[in-house]
Structure 1
């Protein structure tokens, strides 16, 4: 080193710091790169993405190579800085060189390049992968030797270096990614994607039409009454039963109804109506919607009856009900004025039927009733009160003031709900 001029040593030191910055930035860029974006680019044929993906397949070798290069460069820079310091300041130059070199490496070879790489990982990782791939071929024996030592040391601490962390995401993590996608995904599409993920948290019990609201035809009634129901039916499928709904016969399709009405208009025949009914598809209560959606598809069904552990019918679920959980209601929803179960009052309160579904109220009115227990507002009041309420009475559930306005047949028929002022302003 005595034959090399001080100015030359400064140039060598500057080059070593630049190389150290390269290794530091490359390490951060490789680690920070978005694996899913990288995988997409690699599948699209991007050469840089393919190189980076191949390097990341063995992260132990990649990190080993970068650390070997970075440490060699930093040690060499330290030695040269010491020589420069001693030439300029004698023995005191050792301490001076240590302090100055530490600051220079921290600023120019560590913090700055790593910050730039963290902000632009793809732009740093892909060009850097060219040189890193070449160095990997040259330094592979040393990298393997280093990994052999470090991997065996890890085994002493009970860690298996061969178990790589997978990129699989949980449903909650994927939901967070969708919600944070921002303008990359239209808000309507975000809602649909999140709704698909939420299907596993919702069961058929949450969306079914309860048994007391199922529109069905009692085959034991007089034929004129049956024909009146058939002619006024607004659904494509109707349930047939004998005397009570638990003795269900099957579903009658609208096409079959019209054919039978036309054919037997002069000479009615209940037996033909029963024969035309299609087999019932039964659904166990508590079935998650994502599971039931696949079952509908696998069994080529569109409608089913929900039954409890005793085989009693609890409600009715259709394919449309599940699809509405994903894309929203196909028909007009609560718009702040009226619906089948809700009526907006002049004072800002809502007159609601006791059978109104809590999940639907939360979704349509942006409320926050608890849904992990009772499914209807009647059940919520009975659970909160601990008994069948009398009329009139008032109860407070969270920020909602609920006034019971009508009780009939041991159940709450209608209530008046007054949301808190904060909830009304939100609407």
Structure 2
């Protein structure tokens, strides 16, 4: 039979078939390895090749079907031609065995490993040009592809696969976090931190970042008028809660910009102060930060009073507090943090009992638990399960704590350091 076809033609056909096999192999890997998010971006930007690839990937069963039909066809035809050539040179007995061995090595190197490796490394260089061929080929071979898909999809349903539609590329929060981490130099470190902080907003409530009740600075209408006016003139805050006798009796929030209206009068009264105060905005303590950020935007507010389930005031939270969770501490708050944490010469830290645990973790890179008490004092009392009569030591996670000062039922100071890790 080899006499019916010139050897030159057979070798040319064999070379062409190996090239086609390499094309189908690389196309399969390139299509499956391409970055779906970059592909979607380019398709949305109007890139024609990207749109073709997206269309093909919408039904991966059809795409894989046409690729494998083409690949198996050219491989089987290549095997037949290689056998004819081998029989011509080595005879009917040893020819088929020699052709099988030589063709296997050739296909493995030149039509499988090399093109698939290149496609895995440079998927766009393969997938985009391949879409010019695979699209029309899919239409040409559609009846055969449909038949193959009917059988294979039936087998997949038996195995529990109910849908073979493409597009299942939605990322979970943890997966998106991994994408941000692996972006490397494509996203500056500062921007990575901000993106990760945004993802964490849902896991943090206003109770975690609020200014606690005992630290809230406000105007008590039961004070003398002269003291109130002096407080307004010297206040470092732009908004002050106005209450009567007790902070639970909040009347409103006074913006010091509006204070100029009554401070310029010859006679100032407490009623004038109340008149300029805006109605207070109350926030449940369990509100997630991402929800509260949107609520601030909808309500056109910058500050809210945090209340518990009984309506008692727990503290207050500002828009700036939430923004700090995203962009980091503002420079105006660094000094306040340094007053709570003091580094010692031996590497330990002197920390105030009222220091917020989340602030400690951020400042020192520790991992103290934040799902319980909010302050260092509360964390130590929770682990001791009783109020210490004097100095005591304890360990929370890998952080050791030595209570240094106890005053008025409050742990006011502790020395903390990380315990060395055992290898």
Task: Provide the TM-score with structure 1 as the length reference.
Answer: 0.93
Deviation for aligned residue 1:30: 0.7
- Distance in 1 between residues matched to 2:413 and 2:274, nearest whole Å: 37
- Distance in 2 between residues matched to 1:85 and 1:252, nearest whole Å: 96
Partner of 2:27: 26
Task: Report the CA distance shift for 1:164/1:338 in structure 2 as closer, same or farther (over 3 A).
Answer: closer
Deviation for aligned residue 1:349: 2.5
1:10-409 mapped onto 2 (5 Å cutoff): 10-89=11-90, 90-263=92-265, 266-332=266-332, 334=334, 339-409=338-408
Q: C-alpha deviations, 1:274-305, integer Å up to 9, x for none?
A: 22221111111121111110111111111111
- Distance in 1 between residues matched to 2:331 and 2:40, nearest whole Å: 40
- Distance in 2 between residues matched to 1:391 and 1:330, nearest whole Å: 37
Deviation for aligned residue 1:130: 1.2
Asked if structure 2 preserves the Cα contact closer than 8 Å seen for 1:154 and 1:161, the reply is no
Task: Report the CA distance shift for 1:64/1:349 in structure 2 as closer, same or farther (over 3 A).
Answer: same
Q: C-alpha deviations, 1:120-179, integer Å up to 9, x for none?
A: 000111111112222223222322232233333333444324544521111111111111
Structure 2 unpaired stretches of 5+: none
Which secondary structure state, in structure 1, belongs to the residue aligned with residue 338 of structure 2? coil
Q: How many residues align?
A: 419
- Distance in 2 between residues matched to 1:284 and 1:166, nearest whole Å: 37
- Distance in 2 between residues matched to 1:21 and 1:290, nearest whole Å: 51
- Distance in 2 between residues matched to 1:236 and 1:397, nearest whole Å: 38
Higher mean C-alpha displacement, 309-318 vs 37-46: 37-46
- Distance in 1 between residues matched to 2:226 and 2:343, nearest whole Å: 39
Deviation for aligned residue 1:253: 0.8
Aligned-residue CA RMSD (Å): 2.0
Task: Provide the TM-score with structure 2 as the length reference.
Answer: 0.93
Task: Report the CA distance shift for 1:346/1:261 in structure 2 as closer, same or farther (over 3 A).
Answer: farther
Which secondary structure state, in structure 1, belongs to the residue aligned with residue 395 of structure 2? strand
- Distance in 1 between residues matched to 2:241 and 2:334, nearest whole Å: 28
Q: C-alpha deviations, 1:82-103, integer Å up to 9, x for none?
A: 2223333322222222222222
- Distance in 2 between residues matched to 1:132 and 1:297, nearest whole Å: 50
Partner of 1:425: none
Asked if structure 2 preserves the Cα contact closer than 8 Å seen for 1:23 and 1:70, the reply is yes
Higher mean C-alpha displacement, 310-319 vs 146-155: 146-155
Partner of 1:5: 6
- Distance in 1 between residues matched to 2:408 and 2:55, nearest whole Å: 70
- Distance in 2 between residues matched to 1:372 and 1:345, nearest whole Å: 28
- Distance in 1 between residues matched to 2:140 and 2:167, nearest whole Å: 27
Deviation for aligned residue 1:182: 0.8
- Distance in 1 between residues matched to 2:33 and 2:174, nearest whole Å: 21
Deviation for aligned residue 1:55: 1.5
Which secondary structure state, in structure 1, belongs to the residue aligned with residue 386 of structure 2? coil
- Distance in 1 between residues matched to 2:217 and 2:165, nearest whole Å: 57
Which secondary structure state, in structure 1, belongs to the residue aligned with residue 278 of structure 2? coil
Structure 1 unpaired stretches of 5+: 423-427
Task: Report the CA distance shift for 1:199/1:91 in structure 2 as closer, same or farther (over 3 A).
Answer: same
- Distance in 2 between residues matched to 1:36 and 1:245, nearest whole Å: 51
- Distance in 2 between residues matched to 1:282 and 1:176, nearest whole Å: 36
